[in-house]
Amino acid sequence: KHPRRNSLHDYRKSDGIHLFKTDSSLLTKSKSLSEVKCARRCSRNKGLSFICRAFHFDQKTRKCHWLSFDSNTPGVKKEQDFSFDLYEKKDYTRECIIGEGSSYKGIKSVTKTGLKCQAWASSVPHDHNFLPSRFKRKDLKENYCRNPNNETSGPWCYTTDPDIRHQSCEIPQCSEVECMTCNGENYRGPMDHTETGKECQRWDLTRPHKHTFHPKRYPDKGLNDNYCRNPDNRLRPWCFTLDPQTPWEYCNIKVCDVNAKTDIDTTTKCFRGQGEQYRGTVAVTPDGVQCQRWDSQFPHNHSYTPENYKCQDLRENYCRNPDGAELPWCFTVDTKVRTAFCTNIPRCDTEPPATEECFEGNGEEYRGHLSKTRSGVPCAMWEDNLDRSSATNSEIASLENNFCRNPDKDKHGPWCYTNNSSVPWDYCMIKPCKPSSNVIPTKSDPSQISCFRHKRIR
């Protein structure tokens, strides 16, 4: 059995707002009633001598004030008064439609090509049957665009051009008046129906579905009325539905063509704030453990996939902060360490990016202080690895701390050992100062060494 629909779903609530009328012809009526009953009476116009467009609810006196006007009506001023909550009928205040827009009661009066609408009560220049007196429930006021016959193209009107009888007003769908980026966490648009057309439940109500996303608990998540929102990092904006059998559903919101905010705060060498805009390539934890790829579920299962977090740039296995954590982080390839913060990325304001370094020749003479491999794994101390090395005493002398060096004259440049068992050693994040000059071997310099001196060994 479906519970009765709460009439508050028809209203847009503004906390602490009171409408003050300067035009005395505007009507009001008051009575002590609950918010819900107040809304129901306004929606049904029961016992009212005017069409109710909004109501105030006085939180102090618990009194309801029905209004024949809303904040868009001429001769009305908005005032701040914390004892009042203003509820305005959405149909009158929003300039967008859901579906065919049969309930649209906005004030647009121009067609899609810019023609002024003919008043519904007029028969000039076009004679017609949609007279306000015959269709009292269709709100055929003034010359406002309406959809009294459920046209699929939405609200329309007869035009004042004698050659064009009627035309659509092309009032946008509520799903399209505001577009969303990424997962729609910042979407604050007016869509209040799910992708299957179910009406959303108000966030400040807990029926038919109980939940904890109360607007006062999450003041920064835009949980106004019953609009589609994404307060918890789901794939897209969503809402609880008024269908008792369907707790929640996603909403279909238009995606913005470009994310205008991209790149402004992006950093690659260091991170600012919590590093949500860090887009660098560090892919290893401070302990030297490789990060797990975001698109992999091994060794750790997770939901932080590039598909789920479209604007978080979850490429490869780079450290990122898709969830508003303190710092960029990653899942690690170590089965025993699920996640780790990448504290090895410097903060932009405390540590300037390292200056570019390079090495001459094969880097044998390099004496710089670089101590990371090309994939960002910290180098291990040389003195802890001398038993692994076949370096001579003079070579050992150059092996300071954990700096990148080339004690074995490796032609590919400086390298170091690491404490990471999956990367025992690797080349360092440093390039030759000059590209190799022996790009094309000369004709007179072929190697004389035979390739076949090997003997098969067991």
Provide, rounded to whole angstroms, the least separation between the CB of residue 235 and another protein: 21
Binding track, positions 367-396, relative to another protein; x by CB under 8 A: -------xx------------x--------
Provide, rounded to whole angstroms, the least separation between the CB of residue 443 and another protein: 5
Binding of another protein by 335 (CB under 8 A): no
Binding track, positions 304-323, relative to another protein; x by CB under 8 A: ------------xx------
Answer for which of 64, 182, 283, 289 binds another protein (CB under 8 A) is 283
Binding of another protein by 360 (CB under 8 A): no
- Reading the block at residue 233, the tokens are 């990092």
Provide, rounded to whole angstroms, the least separation between the CB of residue 398 and another protein: 18
Answer for which of 62, 424, 433, 434 binds another protein (CB under 8 A) is 424
Provide, rounded to whole angstroms, the least separation between the CB of residue 330 and another protein: 11
Provide, rounded to whole angstroms, the least separation between the CB of residue 397 and another protein: 22
Answer for which of 258, 260, 264, 451 binds another protein (CB under 8 A) is 451
Binding of another protein by 336 (CB under 8 A): no
Q: Which ranges of 75-201 does DSSP label H, i.e. alpha helix? A: 90-93
Binding of another protein by 290 (CB under 8 A): yes
Binding track, positions 397-416, relative to another protein; x by CB under 8 A: -----------x-xxxx---
Query: Do residues 242 and 194 lie in contact, with contact meaning Cβ atoms separated by under 8 Å?
Result: no
Please name which of 375, 167, 359 lies closest in space to residue 291, comparing C-alpha atoms: 375
Q: Which stretch binds another protein (CB under 8 A): 44-52, 102-110, 259-267, 288-296?
A: 288-296
Q: Which stretch binds another protein (CB under 8 A): 7-15, 55-63, 154-162, 419-427?
A: 419-427
- How many residues belong to the site for another protein (CB under 8 A)? 41
Answer for which of 142, 232, 265, 295 binds another protein (CB under 8 A) is 295
Answer for which of 24, 25, 355, 452 binds another protein (CB under 8 A) is 452
Q: Which stretch binds another protein (CB under 8 A): 19-27, 51-59, 108-116, 433-441?
A: 433-441
Binding of another protein by 77 (CB under 8 A): no
The Cα 75–Cα 73 span in angstroms is 6
Binding of another protein by 436 (CB under 8 A): yes
Provide, rounded to whole angstroms, the least separation between the CB of residue 375 and another protein: 7
Which C-beta is closer to another protein: that of 216 or that of 454?
454
Binding of another protein by 458 (CB under 8 A): no
Binding of another protein by 46 (CB under 8 A): no
Binding of another protein by 298 (CB under 8 A): yes
Residues sharing a CB contact under 8 Å with residue 183, sequence separation 6 or more, in sequence order: 230, 233, 234, 235, 236, 308, 309, 310, 311
**3-state DSSP of the chain:** CCCCCCHHHHEEEEEEEEEEECCCCCCEEEEECCHHHHHHHHHHCCCCCCCCCEEEEECCCCEEEEECCCCCCCCEEEEEEEEEEEEEEHHHHCCCECCCCCCCCCCCCECCCCCEECCCCCCCCCCCCCCCCCCHHHCCCCCCCECCCCCCCCCEEEECCCCCCEEECCCCECCCCCCECCCCCCCCCCCCECCCCCEECCCCCCCCCCCCCCCCCCCCCCCCCCCCECCCCCCCCEEEECCCCCCEEECCCCECCCCCCCCCCCECCCECCCCCCECCCCCECCCCCEECCCCCCCCCCCCCCCCCCCCCCCCCCCCECCCCCCCCEEEECCCCCCEEECCCCCECCCCCCCCCCEECCCCCCCCCCCCEECCCCEECCHHHCHHHCCCCHHHHHCCCCCCCECCCCCCCCCEEEECCCCCCEEEECCEECCCCCCCCCCCCCCCCCCCCCCCCCC
Q: Which stretch binds another protein (CB under 8 A): 112-120, 243-251, 263-271, 423-431?
A: 423-431
* Amino acid identity, position 208: P
- Reading the block at residue 281, the tokens are 């390539």
Task: Tell me the three state secondary structure of residue 305.
Answer: coil
Residues 192-211 touching another protein, rule: CB under 8 A, are none
* Amino acid identity, position 63: K
Binding of another protein by 344 (CB under 8 A): no
Binding of another protein by 450 (CB under 8 A): yes
The Cα 398–Cα 349 span in angstroms is 33
Binding of another protein by 300 (CB under 8 A): no
Which C-beta is closer to another protein: that of 165 or that of 302?
302
Which C-beta is closer to another protein: that of 316 or that of 365?
316
Provide, rounded to whole angstroms, the least separation between the CB of residue 426 and another protein: 8
Contact footprint for another protein (CB under 8 A):
283, 290-291, 293, 295-298, 316-317, 374-375, 388, 408, 410-413, 417, 422, 424-425, 427, 431, 436, 438-443, 446-454, 456
